[in-house]
A and B are shown apart, each in its own frame.
Chain A
C-alpha cells in the first residue's frame, strides 16, 4: 500500500524565476525507508516540504500536480491536520525548539497541548516518545543544555508525539558531530523496525548505503535516478550531478580495473559488501572472517 503519492508535481517559490521541483512523480510504500540525495539546491528540501504540506500551505507558490499523504490531498488539508500523518524534522536542531518550553518533557508535550490532548494522554505519549528516541533520562533537562545530537532526537520526539506514521527529515545530521550522526541513524533504523515510513534527505553516502531501502537522486529539481541503493550509488551518473561514490565503491572500481574485483559481483556500497568481494578474490592467507 502506498502512503505517499506524488503525481506530476511542479512547484516554484513566489520569488524564484525557475521551479524548485519539476514534474516529480513518486510513490512510497508503507514502511519504506527512502533517502533523497542530490547536490545542494537540487530540490531535496523543497521535496521534504512538499511531502509534509509546508509546500504549498506555508510557502505558497506556483503549485501544480498533486501530493497525497495517506490518501489525503495536501492542498485541501491544514499543516496541523497533516502533522497527525507526517512529521517533519528540519536541518538545524536548535531552530526547531519552541523557545517557550523549559524542559525536554514539556518541549515534547507542546504539540500535544496545542492539539488539546487530555493531560493523561500527554503523559503517555511523551513518555513513549522519550523512550523511543533514547532521552528517557533527560526529561527534566533544559532543551538548551543537550548536545546537538540529543537536540535533534528531541526534535524527532516532538513530531513523533503526534504519532504520525510517516517521518520526513531534511538533512538531519548536517550540524552534528560523528557521535550525533550515528545516534540519528540508529534511531532511524529503530523507527523503521517499528513500522514507520521514513523519507530523509542526506549527503552522507556511507550512511545512506547502510540504512536506506531505496534511493532517489535529484538534480535541478528533477528525479534523475531512483532505485535500490546499489543501483543508484554505483551509477556513473552520480558524479555528473555533483555527488560521488562512497569510498568502498571507489576502491572496488579501481580494483576492478586491475582485475582485482570479481566480475560476478556488483560494486560494493557498504563495508561488509566490500569485505565480501575482496575476501573472495584475495589469497586464502589474507582472507578475513
Chain B
C-alpha cells in the first residue's frame, strides 16, 4: 500500500518553530525506508501523522488512495501499525500470547486467523517458548521483542518502527532482520526510525533524512553517505565499513563487508 505525503506542515502547541515543514514524499508498497535525523528533527512527529495520532495542520497524507483526515487512530491502525520506542508503554496483558493477540483482536480478525497471526509473530521473534509467560517476568530485550511481535501480528500493509534495535543483542537484531525481510516478501512497507547507520547501510536501501522538520535528503542510502557536508549538518556519522572504504579511497565506497572485499579484490587485480 502506497503512502503519499504532500506538503505536510505541523507545529506543536508550545513550539516556536514548525516541527514539520512542507514535507513531501511517496513510499511505495514493499519498500524499506529509514527515517533518520538528529533528536528533535521531526522523525517521530512525521510517523505520528501516518496513523492519525497527529492530524496535518497543512498538507495531506494519503494511505493507499485514501486521504486520512479526521479519522481516528484506531481506524488507521488496520493499515498502519506503529511501534513506540519503549515496550513498557504498551505491554498490558498477563500472558505473552494475549499481548501479541491484543492488536489483531482490536482490528477484528477472526479467531482462527488471529491464532495463525499470533503464532507466526511469536516464531518470528523467537518467543514461542514463552507464550504462556507473564510479560513482566521477561527481561527488557525480551519485552522489546514482544512489542515487535505485537505490532507485526497486526498484519498491516505498512509498519513503522521507532528505534526497533535499541537494547537488542546481535542475535536478536538478526531476528529483526529476518522479520523485515519476511514482511517485505509479503509486499508490506517497513519504515524505521533509527540512529544506527551501520544497520541502515546493510539492510535499508532508501533513507529519508529530516533536519529541523524539513526533508534534507530522500534517496538511496549510498548517495546519502557520500554527501559528507549533509551528514555532518545532520550530525550523522557514516557507517563503519563506509568510513574504512572512504579512507582507503575505494570507489564506489562500500556499505557492507561483502561489498568492501569485492571492491578490494578488484583494486588489487
- Chain A residue nearest to B197 (CB atoms) is A178
The answer to whether B241 touches A242, judged by C-beta atoms less than 8 angstroms apart, is no
- Closest-by-CB residue of B relative to A249 is B257
Q: Which of B198, B235, B265 contacts A247 (CB 8 A)?
A: B198
Residues of chain B with a CB closer than 8 A to A40's CB = 139-142, 167-169, 172
- Say yes or no for B17: interface residue by CB 8 A criterion: no
B240 partner, pick from A203, A206, A244, A254, beta carbons under 8 A = A206
Which residue in chain B gives the minimum CB-CB distance to A250?
B257
Kindly identify, within residues 221 to 269 of chain B, every residue whose CB is under 8 Å from any CB belonging to chain A.
235-237, 239-241, 243-244, 247-250, 257-258, 260-261, 264-265, 267-268
A26 within 8 A of B: no
Complex interface: chain B residues within 8 A of A274 (CB):
244
Which of A68-76, A132-140, A223-231, A278-286 makes up part of the contact surface?
A278-286
CA distance A250 to B140 in the complex (A): 28
CA distance A40 to B126 in the complex (A): 14
B166 part of interface (Cβ distance < 8 Å): yes
Q: Which of B38, B141, B171, B248 contacts A278 (CB under 8 A)?
A: B248
| Tier of interface size on chain A | 20 to 34
B264–A174 touching, CB < 8 Å: no
Residue of B nearest to A242 (CB): B171
Instruction: Indicate if the CB atoms of B171 and A39 lie closer than 8 Å.
Output: yes
Give chain A residues whose Cβ lies under 8 Å from the Cβ of B166: 174-175
Chain A residues near B211 (CB-CB < 8 A): none
Complex contact B261–A255 (CB within 8 A) = yes
Residues of A within 8 A of B139 (CB): 40-41
Question: Is there a chain A Cβ closer than 8 Å to B75's Cβ?
Answer: no
Q: How far is the CA of A276 from the CA of B6 in the complex (A)?
A: 49
Does B244 lie within 8 Å of A243, measured CB to CB?
A: no
Q: Which residues of B contact A260 (CB under 8 A)?
A: 261, 264-265, 268
Contact: B258 with A254, CB < 8 Å?
yes
Could you give, for residues 252-274 of chain A, a 1 whenever the CB lies within 8 Å of some chain B CB and a 0 otherwise?
A: 00110010100000000001001
Distance of A75 from chain B, by nearest CB (Å): 26
Bound form: Cα–Cα A269–B252 in Å: 23
**A251 and B39 within 8 A (CB):** no
Whether, in the assembled complex, A288 has its beta carbon less than 8 Å from a beta carbon of chain B, the answer is yes
Q: How far is the CB of B141 from chain A (nearest CB, A)?
A: 4
Chain A residue with the shortest CB-CB distance to B171: A242
Residues of A within 8 A of B237 (CB): 178
User: Could you tell me if B244 and A275 are in contact, using CB atoms closer than 8 angstroms?
Assistant: yes
Flag A185-217 by CB within 8 Å of B: 1 or 0 each.
Answer: 000000000000000000100100000000000
Asked if A177 CB lies within 8 Å of chain B CBs, one says: yes
Chain B residues whose CB sits within 8 angstroms of the CB of A247 once the complex forms: 198, 239-241, 244, 257
Q: Is B32 an interface residue (CB 8 A)?
A: no
Check B248 against A251 for contact (C-beta < 8 Å). Answer: no
Contact B248 A275 (CB under 8 A): yes
Report B-chain residues with C-beta under 8 Å of the C-beta of A271: 240, 243-244, 247
Over the window 22-48 of chain A, the binary record of Cβ atoms lying under 8 Å from chain B Cβ atoms (1 yes, 0 no) is: 000000000000000001110000000
- Chain B residues numbered 110-150 whose CB sits less than 8 Å from any CB in chain A: 139-142
Assembled-state Cα–Cα distance A174/B85 (Å) = 12
A144 to chain B, nearest CB (A): 16
Q: Is the CB of B267 within 8 A of A282?
A: yes
Q: Is the C-beta of B89 less than 8 angstroms from some C-beta in chain A?
A: no
| Selected contact of B247 from candidates A179, A251, A275, CB within 8 Å | A275
Q: List 14 A-B contacts (CB under 8 A).
A: A39-B169, A40-B139, A178-B195, A178-B235, A206-B240, A242-B169, A242-B171, A242-B172, A243-B171, A247-B198, A251-B261, A260-B261, A282-B268, A286-B248
Residues of B within 8 A of A (CB): 38-39, 139-142, 166-172, 195, 198, 235-237, 239-241, 243-244, 247-250, 257-258, 260-261, 264-265, 267-268
Question: Nearest 5 A-B pairs (CB), nearest first?
Answer: A244-B170, A242-B171, A40-B141, A247-B240, A254-B261
